Amino acid sequence: MTLPVISIAPKPMPGPFFRLSRLAWPVLVAQLATIGMMAIDTIVVGRAGTGDLAALAVGASIYVSLALALSGVVQAILPTVAHRLGKNDTDGAAQLIRQAFWLVLLLAAIGDVILCFPDWMIAFADLPAPVAAVTADYLNVLAFSLPASLGYRAFHAIAGGVGRTRPLMWLSLGQTAGHAFLAPVLADSVTIGGVTLGFGLGAIGAASSQAILAWVICLTGLLVLWRSPYYRHLMQGAGLRPGRPDLPTQKHLLRIGVPMGLSYFVEISAFTLMAIFIARLGPEILAGHRIVANISAMVYMFPLALGTATAALVGQADGGQDVRGAEALSRSGFIVAAGGSLLLGLLLWVFREPLAALGSPDPAVIGVAVSLIGYVAAYQLFDALQTIAGFALRGYHVTFVPLGVHLAAFWLMGLGGGYALAFRGLPALGVLPMGAAGFWCAALLATLLAALGLVALLVWVQSTRRRDLV
């Protein structure tokens, strides 16, 4: 069985820049739409009061950390499917799609146990009892959405591995539009002429909207897989029944996916803990930090989307033993990422004051944000390089050593070094405690360390592939 629509064999082949761009831009739009959902939650729940907003802040940080870690494991499907398709092994790719059901089921069961009994995590935040109760209910509702969210991430990975990412964009835009309508109805309430409109559930209403829409896009993604001509050959081989769990396939996916999930967790937990430490410095400094953290998350969507495309195409090329093609694709990813990141860094520096003012009207908060945005602008290049290198390595099925690099960079250098610079300084060098800037300076050094380590590892892997082919 062959799959001509995604084969990398036909000639003439589009150039690597075109192929990367074609896959990356729908993913970028989809990721920005997801951030839009978070913004909607903050706006809508903020009307319900500070208690619900605090519950949202704590609950969302817990859920996002867990969901991203589990989604990272599911993302192992992307390079594995791409690798099989690169070899024109559509039967093997269909087998992976069937096994994705069992992987999602396993991870969802683990995640739901954590979300249904979240009190031990909430206790670390030392919240007032009413806020803690709302936070627990918020996470309980999201436990219902987690299986669907992971199921959709499986579709996301399959679409990336196949090289057809445009459905991801439309589904994410539809989800965000639906959330913009449903979240206010469930979370907020307004009385007009004696008639109350909306349910006024606050943070729980926002979580309910997420859960409903998660199942909608999960089922829609399954329908797209079954009906779209781009996936029909695969789905005819996979069928609707998952079959029995295949232990060798599950072990293979977990061997690749668990380090990927832990890498996601290392990165996001580093920024989460950074915020907790910076909270000790006062509310104005924390507010300024949050503005800069949101800006950093937004601009990171560019290398993340490009990295997803790089992983898919490198995986296809490596599966087809096209060593030179895989190298050309990763090299093109670096070039596009470097150019885009330098432009983003320049724009962040030039417009740092207007950007900071968008986040707060408080001059003190704006001043803090302006002083920190420069660090984000400075590390854009390093962050883009380490992201592309990490995703290219995933295309080669190399994930364990990159996890070690991320641990050393983001936990040891980023968190450990940031804490030292923020609260102790470097007395031997005459450096006084830097406050919040210490954490962002350490983040700059962490991304530099990660970029050096991952790029060096990628060069070694590619040289090994060349030697093995001889």
| Cα 129 from chain centre | 31
Bridge partners for 192 per DSSP? 195
Q: State the average pLDDT over residues 446-451.
A: 96
- Res 364 pLDDT > 60: yes
Structural contact between residues 263 and 402, judged by C-beta atoms closer than 8 angstroms: yes
Q: Tell whether the model's pLDDT for residue 327 goes beyond 80.
A: yes
Q: E strand or H helix at 33, and its extent? A: helix 16-46
- What are the sequence ranges of the domains in the chain? 15-245, 258-470
201: three-class secondary structure by DSSP: coil
- The pTM (predicted TM-score) of the whole model is 0.87
Closest CA to 434 of 323, 444, 381, 403: 444
Task: Please check the confidence at residue 12 and state whether its pLDDT lies above 70.
Answer: no
* pLDDT confidence of residue 1: 42
Burial profile 64-73: b = 16 or more Cβ within 10 angstroms, e = fewer:
ebbbbbbbbb
Indicate whether 8 pLDDT > 60: no
pLDDT in tens, 220-255: 998 888 887 777 666 665 555 667 888 888 999 999
Closest CA to 186 of 169, 160, 211, 164: 211
Report, as an integer, the average pLDDT of 380-388: 96
CA–CA separation, 452 and 126 (whole Å): 39
Kindly tell me if the per-residue pLDDT of 41 is higher than 60: yes
- The pLDDT assigned to 3 comes to 43
* Alpha-carbon dihedral angle through residues 216, 221, 227, 228, given to the nearest 10 degrees: 140
Residue 308 corresponds to which amino acid?
Answer: T
pLDDT score, position 392: 95
Mean pLDDT across 101-123: 92
The string of pLDDT tens digits covering residues 45-63 is 877 777 787 888 788 888 9
| Highest mean pLDDT, choosing among 95-99, 404-408, 423-427 | 404-408
CA distance 188 to 44: 7
What's the average model confidence in pLDDT over 67-94? 88
Helix axes 16-46, 323-350, angle to 10 degrees: 40
User: Roughly how many angstroms between the first and final C-alpha of the chain, as a whole number?
Assistant: 29
DSSP state of 458: H
Q: Does the pLDDT at position 351 exceed 70?
A: yes
pLDDT for res 185: 87
Instruction: Identify the band that residue 13 occupies on the pLDDT scale cut at 50, 70 and 90.
Output: low
Which pLDDT score, from 0 to 100, does residue 62 have? 87
Question: Distance (Å, rounded) from C-alpha 320 to C-alpha 84?
Answer: 8
Distance CA 115, CA 66 (A): 9
Average pLDDT value for residue range 76-104: 86
pLDDT interval class at 282 (50, 70, 90): confident
Q: How many CA atoms, within 13 angstroms, populate the side-chain half-sphere of residue 442?
A: 28
Give residue 277's pLDDT.
85
Q: Which two tokens stand for residue 140?
A: 């309980």
Q: List the Cα angle 274/279/285 in 5-degree steps.
A: 100
For 261, 388, 389, 454, the CA distances from 408, given in Å and listed in that order, are: 16, 18, 16, 12
- At residue 10, the pLDDT reads 46
Q: What is the mean pLDDT of residues 394-409?
A: 94
Tokens 């996002």 appear where? 64
**pLDDT tens-digit readout, 178-236:** 999 999 889 887 555 555 666 788 889 999 999 999 999 999 998 888 887 777 666 66
Instruction: Say whether pLDDT at 111 is over 60.
Output: yes
Which is more confidently placed, 240 or 351? Answer: 351
Q: Report the pLDDT averaged over residues 76-101.
A: 86
Find where tokens 């802040």 sit: 57
Please check whether residue 341 is in contact with residue 381, taking contact to mean a CB–CB distance below 8 angstroms: yes
